[in-house]
Amino acid sequence: MLTAKFQALSPHLDECQRRLVIGAEARSLGHGGIRLVARAAGVREGTVSHGVAELESGEAPLGRVRRVGGGRKRAVDLDPGLRPALLALVEPDVRGDPISPLRWTVKSTRQLAGDLTRQGHRVSADTVAVLLREEGFSLQGNATR
Protein backbone atom coordinates (compact mmCIF):
# COMPACT_ATOMS: atom_id res chain seq x y z
CA MET A 1 0.00 0.00 0.00
CA LEU A 2 2.80 2.40 0.88
CA THR A 3 4.68 1.58 -2.32
CA ALA A 4 1.58 2.31 -4.43
CA LYS A 5 1.12 5.62 -2.64
CA PHE A 6 4.69 6.72 -3.39
CA GLN A 7 4.48 5.54 -7.02
CA ALA A 8 1.33 7.62 -7.50
CA LEU A 9 2.74 10.76 -5.88
CA SER A 10 6.36 10.66 -7.03
CA PRO A 11 5.94 11.89 -10.63
CA HIS A 12 4.15 15.01 -9.38
CA LEU A 13 6.78 16.07 -6.82
CA ASP A 14 10.21 17.64 -7.13
CA GLU A 15 13.10 16.20 -5.10
CA CYS A 16 12.55 18.48 -2.10
CA GLN A 17 8.81 17.78 -1.93
CA ARG A 18 9.43 14.04 -2.33
CA ARG A 19 11.94 14.08 0.53
CA LEU A 20 9.47 15.93 2.79
CA VAL A 21 6.60 13.55 1.97
CA ILE A 22 8.65 10.45 2.73
CA GLY A 23 10.01 12.12 5.87
CA ALA A 24 6.49 12.90 7.09
CA GLU A 25 5.36 9.35 6.38
CA ALA A 26 8.33 7.89 8.26
CA ARG A 27 7.73 10.20 11.20
CA SER A 28 4.06 9.21 11.38
CA LEU A 29 4.99 5.50 11.45
CA GLY A 30 7.30 5.93 14.43
CA HIS A 31 10.07 3.44 15.29
CA GLY A 32 11.26 1.56 12.19
CA GLY A 33 9.44 3.98 9.88
CA ILE A 34 12.60 5.22 8.16
CA ARG A 35 13.62 1.74 7.01
CA LEU A 36 10.07 0.81 5.97
CA VAL A 37 9.52 4.03 4.01
CA ALA A 38 12.94 3.81 2.34
CA ARG A 39 12.15 0.31 1.03
CA ALA A 40 8.65 1.30 -0.10
CA ALA A 41 9.81 4.49 -1.84
CA GLY A 42 12.94 2.92 -3.32
CA VAL A 43 15.32 5.48 -1.78
CA ARG A 44 18.22 5.37 0.66
CA GLU A 45 17.46 5.48 4.37
CA GLY A 46 19.64 8.59 4.56
CA THR A 47 17.26 10.39 2.19
CA VAL A 48 14.32 9.58 4.45
CA SER A 49 16.29 10.66 7.53
CA HIS A 50 17.17 13.91 5.80
CA GLY A 51 13.46 14.51 5.10
CA VAL A 52 12.58 13.86 8.74
CA ALA A 53 15.34 16.23 9.87
CA GLU A 54 14.11 18.96 7.52
CA LEU A 55 10.60 18.66 8.92
CA GLU A 56 11.81 18.72 12.52
CA SER A 57 14.20 21.64 12.00
CA GLY A 58 11.33 24.12 11.82
CA GLU A 59 13.11 26.14 9.13
CA ALA A 60 11.01 27.98 6.59
CA PRO A 61 10.96 26.44 3.10
CA LEU A 62 13.73 27.70 0.83
CA GLY A 63 11.43 28.62 -2.02
CA ARG A 64 13.66 26.59 -4.34
CA VAL A 65 14.46 22.90 -4.85
CA ARG A 66 18.15 23.03 -3.93
CA ARG A 67 20.15 25.21 -1.62
CA VAL A 68 22.25 27.96 -3.19
CA GLY A 69 25.38 26.37 -4.65
CA GLY A 70 23.75 22.93 -4.78
CA GLY A 71 23.89 20.69 -7.80
CA ARG A 72 26.62 19.74 -10.22
CA LYS A 73 29.33 22.32 -10.88
CA ARG A 74 29.96 23.49 -14.43
CA ALA A 75 32.79 21.83 -16.35
CA VAL A 76 34.47 25.23 -16.79
CA ASP A 77 34.48 25.75 -13.01
CA LEU A 78 35.95 22.30 -12.37
CA ASP A 79 38.56 22.56 -15.16
CA PRO A 80 39.94 26.12 -15.45
CA GLY A 81 42.07 25.15 -18.46
CA LEU A 82 39.05 24.08 -20.52
CA ARG A 83 38.09 27.47 -21.97
CA PRO A 84 41.66 28.41 -23.04
CA ALA A 85 42.14 24.96 -24.57
CA LEU A 86 38.90 25.31 -26.53
CA LEU A 87 39.81 28.78 -27.78
CA ALA A 88 43.26 27.53 -28.80
CA LEU A 89 41.61 24.80 -30.89
CA VAL A 90 39.14 27.21 -32.49
CA GLU A 91 41.31 30.28 -33.18
CA PRO A 92 43.10 28.96 -36.32
CA ASP A 93 39.73 28.17 -37.92
CA VAL A 94 37.70 31.23 -36.88
CA ARG A 95 35.59 32.68 -39.67
CA GLY A 96 33.58 35.86 -39.92
CA ASP A 97 33.81 39.50 -40.81
CA PRO A 98 36.32 41.29 -38.53
CA ILE A 99 33.90 44.23 -38.28
CA SER A 100 30.84 42.11 -37.48
CA PRO A 101 30.44 40.58 -34.01
CA LEU A 102 29.35 37.31 -35.65
CA ARG A 103 32.06 34.61 -35.48
CA TRP A 104 31.96 30.93 -36.28
CA THR A 105 34.26 27.98 -36.71
CA VAL A 106 34.41 25.26 -39.34
CA LYS A 107 34.88 22.55 -36.70
CA SER A 108 31.83 20.83 -35.24
CA THR A 109 31.13 20.80 -31.52
CA ARG A 110 31.46 17.00 -31.57
CA GLN A 111 34.87 17.23 -33.23
CA LEU A 112 36.02 19.90 -30.75
CA ALA A 113 34.77 17.80 -27.79
CA GLY A 114 36.76 14.82 -29.08
CA ASP A 115 39.90 16.93 -29.46
CA LEU A 116 39.50 18.35 -25.94
CA THR A 117 38.90 14.87 -24.47
CA ARG A 118 42.12 13.65 -26.09
CA GLN A 119 43.89 16.59 -24.42
CA GLY A 120 42.57 15.44 -21.04
CA HIS A 121 39.53 17.71 -20.67
CA ARG A 122 36.41 15.57 -20.17
CA VAL A 123 33.74 17.52 -22.01
CA SER A 124 30.66 16.85 -24.14
CA ALA A 125 29.65 18.43 -27.43
CA ASP A 126 26.78 20.21 -25.66
CA THR A 127 29.18 21.80 -23.18
CA VAL A 128 31.42 22.90 -26.06
CA ALA A 129 28.38 24.51 -27.70
CA VAL A 130 27.55 26.42 -24.51
CA LEU A 131 31.14 27.64 -24.17
CA LEU A 132 31.29 28.74 -27.80
CA ARG A 133 28.03 30.69 -27.42
CA GLU A 134 29.45 32.37 -24.30
CA GLU A 135 32.48 33.41 -26.39
CA GLY A 136 30.24 34.96 -29.05
CA PHE A 137 30.35 32.21 -31.65
CA SER A 138 27.37 31.44 -33.85
CA LEU A 139 26.54 27.74 -34.03
CA GLN A 140 25.18 27.22 -37.50
CA GLY A 141 25.59 24.17 -39.67
CA ASN A 142 27.32 24.38 -43.02
CA ALA A 143 24.93 24.92 -45.90
CA THR A 144 25.18 22.44 -48.77
CA ARG A 145 24.17 23.22 -52.29
Q: What is the pLDDT of residues 9-61, one digit of tens each?
A: 888 888 888 888 899 999 999 999 999 999 988 899 998 998 899 888 877 66
Residue type, 91: E
| Residue 145 within any structural domain of the chain | no
Name 15's Cβ contacts closer than 8 Å, sequence gap at least 6: 65, 66
How do the residues of the chain divide into helix, strand and coil, expressed in percent and rounded to 5? 60, 5, 40
* Residue 145: band (very low, low, confident or very high) from pLDDT cuts 50, 70, 90: low
Number of domains in the chain: 2
Residues 80 and 30 placed together within one structural domain of the fold: no
Residues 7 and 37 placed together within one structural domain of the fold: yes
| Residue 8 within any structural domain of the chain | yes
| Residue 142 within any structural domain of the chain | no
Q: How far apart are CA 131 and CA 76, in angstroms?
A: 8
Q: Which domain holds residue 14?
A: 2-57
